[in-house]
Amino acid sequence: MTFSAWCVLLRYQPLRICKTPRNLNFFKPAYSTSLPDSMEKPKVLITRNDVPQIAIRKLRELCDVDIYEGSYPMPRDQLLARVAGKDGLFCFLTDRINAEVLDAAGRSLRVVSTMSVGYDHLSLEEMKSRDIKVGYTPDVLTDATAELTLALLLATSRRLLQANAELNNGGWGRCVWGPVWMLGKGLSGSTVGIFGLGRTGQAVLKRLAGFNVAKFLYTSTTKKELRAKFNKDAFAAMKNSAVFINTSRGGLVDQEALVWALQTGQIWAAGLDVMTPEPLPTDHILTTLPNCTLVPHIASADVKTREAMAELAAENLLGGLIEGKQMLKRLC
């Protein structure tokens, strides 16, 4: 029997037929890399210190940079105190930037640049109402996300984490080997469904071409109102042999319905890079299910991709702060 795999890869940006390099060296700044002596440097806050150095160097050339000392999310009280009087804010998915932060910053804040594709942590309507420019970092993480999606699909369908646990806990020694021990599901001859055939979906499709997949199903919807799209009805419609992969948004999945599907055998397994909430509590029921592979939102976590994201976030900040210039990737 063939099995089906569903990969949730929805991105809200419109589809473009182009190839985006994984670094931004081809972007030549449309501004001088130095300021006139008479011009005061814009004040910028970076909310953590474990940022690729290329971004920090770019910002220090033209800005007065204040960097939070920790390599973890900036405590709320310090964020509210140190954002005061800043012209620009370089932030991350872990920072909730809402009216409280904007009030603390004051009227000087002109640009918010997030080193992420997702922007659920930003109060965009509030920023629009205050004429604050907002930048983000799409495109440059397409390849990394596609690679992680394929890795998660293979790891889940072939039970790699379970097999590793068996090796580490002595299960291999106890069993030695058996003809039905640690059986997984192969991709050859399977049907793969891709929900969201944008840049990432197409990149995954390209990578799956060599696995002898029998059939591809896809949808190219870009609707934003898709919370809990994968609910009990959706899982009930899947084959019992289905493997469900989500590398898009945790909110697209009704997690209670997913738990039901995994516990009852309605679907065979699931692999998630995103979930709700994040971080997922260590005692969450999903962490106890042997047929659920979880990784902590690492789709963009390769060296070149994170450097490219950091550089783009810095370029966005500079583009918004320097008069007459444009941000490379702007949300509002």
- 243 beta partners: 5, 269
Dihedral pair phi/psi, residue 204, rounded to 5°: -65, -45
Dihedral pair phi/psi, residue 43, rounded to 5°: -95, 130
> Among residues 297, 305, 306, 331, which one is catalytic?
297
Distance CA 88, CA 130 (A): 14
SS3 265: coil
Side-chain half-sphere of 285: how many Cα atoms within 13 Å? Answer: 9
Per-residue burial over 291-303, b if 16 or more Cβ lie within 10 Å, else e, is: bbbbbebebbebe
Distance CA 197, CA 247 (A): 13
Mark whether 284 is an active-site residue. Answer: no
- Closest alpha carbon to 247 in 274, 220, 222, 269: 274
Given a contact cutoff of 8 angstroms between Cβ atoms, the answer to whether 292 and 160 are in contact is no
Distance CA 91, CA 187 (A): 39
Give the helix ranges, DSSP H, for the chain.
Answer: 53-62, 76-82, 99-105, 124-129, 142-157, 160-168, 171-175, 199-208, 232-236, 255-264, 303-321
Dihedral pair phi/psi, residue 293, rounded to 5°: -100, 125
User: What residues are labeled active site?
Assistant: 297
